[in-house]
Amino acid sequence: ERLKKEGAEGQKKITQYTRYGTVIIASFNAIGISLFLQRGVEGAVPHPGVFFLFTSVLTMVTGVMIIMWLGEQITENGIGNGISLIIFAGIIARYPQGFYNMFRMVQVGAMQILVAVIVIVLMVLVTASVVLITEANRKIPVQYAKRIVGRKVYGGQSTHIPLKVNTAGVIPIIFAQSIIMFPRTIATFFQGSDFMNSIVQALSPGAFLYTVLYVGMIIFFAYFYTAMVLNPVEMAENMKKYGGFIPGRKPGKKTSEYINNVLVRITLPGATFFAFIAVLPEFMSKWTNLPFYFGGTGLIIIVGVALDTLQQIESHLVMRHYEGFMKKGKLRGRRG
């Protein structure tokens, strides 16, 4: 919060810290993946050893840094968030092959036509519901008191504060996945231990304990992230400072309590819905024998990035339209 208030310099420091954190996390994950390939997959590494571990980690971390640099360039010189667009493209690229595989399964009789139609209809409905929940918000009315300064009247207008049902977006799912994956990554260092193997099995996708912990952590992090991003006390103070108030609520503490209660109520259905979307791929793969994953983090990222990019494109188009309109519509005095 202190760095955000510093403006451009603070943003540079945040970007720098993000890069450092990315290198650390990427290194840790690269070590885990390399050890898993070296010890857990027989024949995957022809020449295991320190050299393989070093080159694998260096290659993966370098790749992450290049992708991060490309994302920053897209963000600075293009439209939308660069990293999000790269992830978006990677997820979308898998769907055509997945649909083709499903079509082939129908052709060879591995999947019934009715099941394929139901899956497609379900995918459309789920995507539409994710868009709806992502865009849903609770509008809290705000009234500004009139102020008379000289002969001019300031304020008096009505507006609203839009509180999103899903303020946290995909962040809770990413946090929950990272925490659940951590014990499994640690277990790769202790292969052969029955205790570690039991942990890996219990925390594998599809296991009962995995599903319960996953859903619980998503809901918890949804509340946690919402509390980090939105501060009801600060919102109430800002409204009071500029003469705003919520009808029927006293400015100050009562207003902050009301906003907090609204956030608590609207966050639960949003978090529960996204927790359902997160575990949806496991159920769909079991029930329908679908040749690709649908739902989960990928779907939420696709919807979120698409909506955000469309909004930015729309704002750019409006800005360019008004700029062109203003250039062409210059008033000129009469000649002669």
Cβ-contact 194, 252 below 8 angstroms: no
Mean pLDDT estimate for the chain = 80
CA 17 to mean position of chain CA atoms: 20
Over range 106-133, report the average pLDDT: 87
- pLDDT given at position 66: 92
In 3D space, the residue among 280, 297, 43, 66 whose CA is nearest the CA of residue 170 turns out to be: 297
CA distance 299 to 122: 13
pLDDT in tens, 229-250: 888 888 888 888 877 888 888 8
- pLDDT given at position 8: 66
Question: Against a cut of 0.85, is the pTM above it?
Answer: no
Instruction: Lowest mean pLDDT of 235-249, 262-276, 317-331, name the range.
Output: 317-331
Domains of the chain: 1-78 (no CATH), 110-328 (1.10.3370.10)
Q: Could you tell me the pLDDT band of residue 58, with boundaries at 50, 70 and 90?
A: very high
- pLDDT given at position 231: 86
Element (H, E) at 265: helix 253-288
Task: Considering only residues 7 and 98, tell me which one the structure prediction assigns the higher pLDDT.
Answer: 98
